[in-house]
Amino acid sequence: MAIIAFLGMLTIILGAFGAHALKETLSLEMLKSFETGVRYQMYHVLFLLFVNTTNALSEKSKNTISYLIFAGILFFSGSIYAITVGGVNPKSIWFITPLGGLFFIIGWLKMATSFLNKNP
């Protein structure tokens, strides 16, 4: 849970950084991309809070879902941050963002199948 709290705090810091410090340095398109990374990170931090506090999932399912979502945040949001703020050429890491999205999808699918298998 501490990692989730840290990710939530980091999301707020990055959102504030984007809203205040990056307004003057990024193009509107790049700022929108940065905001997408922050938004998806926050959605999935909240998702992780739910997953890890519900009694409806086994510990094994919680761990699997959490690892998938952590990877999704790292790859999806992280790659957007690297491109928009880090100056990384998008062509050099074009596959990282969709891979992060795939981790998100698999995490959500794992949650769905865990609920379905528990309540046939």
Please provide the average confidence, as pLDDT, over all residues in the chain. Answer: 95
Predicted pLDDT of residue 119 = 57
Predicted pLDDT of residue 120 = 47
Encode pLDDT of 34-93 as tens digits: 999 999 999 999 999 999 999 999 999 999 999 999 999 999 999 999 999 999 999 999
Predicted pLDDT of residue 23 = 86
Compute the average pLDDT of residues 9-26.
92
Gyration radius of the chain over CA positions: 16
Q: What is the pTM of this model?
A: 0.92
Residue type, 28: L
